[in-house]
A and B are shown apart, each in its own frame.
Chain A
């Protein structure tokens, strides 16, 4: 998959975005988002939950996927992007996250992709579909 100037085809692979999640980043994201849920920020609180430690905000992980789509489709993603995803598993500090996508179908100017984010253990953290209008 190349830039927004290239007409994509079904099966094309989007360029990946790779990020390392850190606890410091969760703090910065909490300050920007206003989401100070202790599950993200308080190791003592989070250790007593089913997760056993802090986890990343879902919208932070989704931002990695959005960056991948911005790189793939440029302004078309900002002007016509749509997505529907489910959060499958938590991202944790220390995780190396890979956001990836593949073109599922192209119907005229409409491009539909499957997208996902995985951690270093190849666990799917979020998955779903995204689409853009390239007209």
Chain B
């Protein structure tokens, strides 16, 4: 399926479900990038919870490119259980809201990461970008 440009998506749009790739290599790269010194003290294969959120956003960006200059305005997250390296997770996402004010679009996207029927994380990310980007 060709990527859908994010600014053109209406409220209620559901993104195609996708698999999150929490490979050991990617988790190591992420942990090094954010210089997380706390996660390693909890267990060798537990991933930083924000890595899961980052993978969710990565999947969204790959499915729907963002306009240049997009800003991350806010973030909500809820973790239901610890996630381990190598787990196979499915991501579901939909456009929760879309509004326009003072020449900027404010868009919220709801995420849900699942293993089978079990939800391990919910999230809502809010971004803004210049109106007319679509």
Contacts and interface: CB of A to CB of B under 8 A. Distances in A.
Interface stretch (B5-13, B35-43, B94-102, B108-116): B35-43
Nearest to B27: A32
A29 B33 contact: yes
Contacts, number: 125
A25 B75 CA distance: 21
A74 B37 CA distance: 12
Interface of A: 17, 19, 25, 28-29, 31-35, 37-39, 45, 49, 57-60, 62-64, 66-68, 70-71, 74-75, 77-87
A95 B71 CA distance: 19
B38 A34 contact: no
Interface in B52-93: 53-54, 57-58, 61-62, 66, 68-83
Nearest to A46: B69
A77 B49 contact: yes
Contacts of A19: 35
A70 B36 contact: yes
Contacts of A31: 29, 33
B74 A85 contact: yes
Interface string B23-53: 0001001101111111100110010111001
B67 to A, nearest CB: 9
B interface residue count range (under 10 / 10 to 19 / 20 to 34 / 35 or more): 35 or more
Contacts of B36: 63, 66-67, 70
Contacts of B34: 29, 60, 63-64, 67
Contacts of A85: 74-76
Contacts of B26: 32
Nearest to A28: B33
Contacts of A60: 33-34
Given A37-B69, A39-B69, A79 B77 contact: no
Contact of B35 (A25, A59, A68, A75): A25
Contacts of B30: 32-33
Given A34-B61, A59-B54, A78 B38 contact: no
Contacts of A28: 29, 32-33
